[in-house]
Amino acid sequence: MGVLLGFDYGTHKIGVAVGQDLTATATALETLSMVNHKPDWQRIARLLDDWKPDALVVGHPFEMTDREANNAAGAKKFARQLHGRFHLPVHLADERLTSREAWSQLGGRAAKDPTRVDAYAAKLILETWLND
């Protein structure tokens, strides 16, 4: 598969990470703010141009009861839009507890800059997908 970009979609911001399948590891890149309540498509296009991923992975929100979370529809719509705009394979990955784990792993750094949590959650989502 090669290089992948991972996304932690939220209604106000989107965390982004890059990873590759050889080592099944990922690195948090940045957190994008929404532009007029829509994804920052220009910045996403630049990230895709910079990293030239072979595929994209979007976090699929689930509750602990295995039901889709309330924000799952938005994440799936974002995944469809990514595929439609950029014509790359887009995979959904269970993102259960990734934000909580990101807060835990980042510790005090998250308190100083909470936007880091979304990018780190994207890293965890991508690594989950790579290791499944």
Residue whose pair of structure tokens reads 């994008």 in the numeric block: 32
Edge-first strand order for the sheet with 3-9 is: 25-33, 13-20, 3-9, 55-60, 90-94
User: Could you tell me the two tokens for 62?
Assistant: 């689930």
Taking residue 105's Cβ as centre, other Cβ atoms within 10 Å add up to 14
Q: CA 90 to CA 48: how far, in whole Å?
A: 13
Residue whose pair of structure tokens reads 């630049």 in the numeric block: 46
Do residues 111 and 77 touch, judged by C-beta distance below 8 A?
Answer: no
Q: Per-domain residue ranges for the chain?
A: 76-132
Q: What pLDDT, on a 0 to 100 scale, did the predictor assign at position 104?
A: 72
Main-chain dihedrals φ then ψ at residue 56, nearest 5 degrees: -125, 150
Q: Is the overall model pTM greater than 0.85, yes or no? A: yes
| Tens of pLDDT, residue by residue, the chain (132 residues) | 699 999 999 889 999 999 999 889 999 999 999 999 999 999 999 999 999 999 999 999 887 777 877 788 899 999 999 999 999 999 999 876 667 667 576 676 665 666 788 898 999 999 999 988
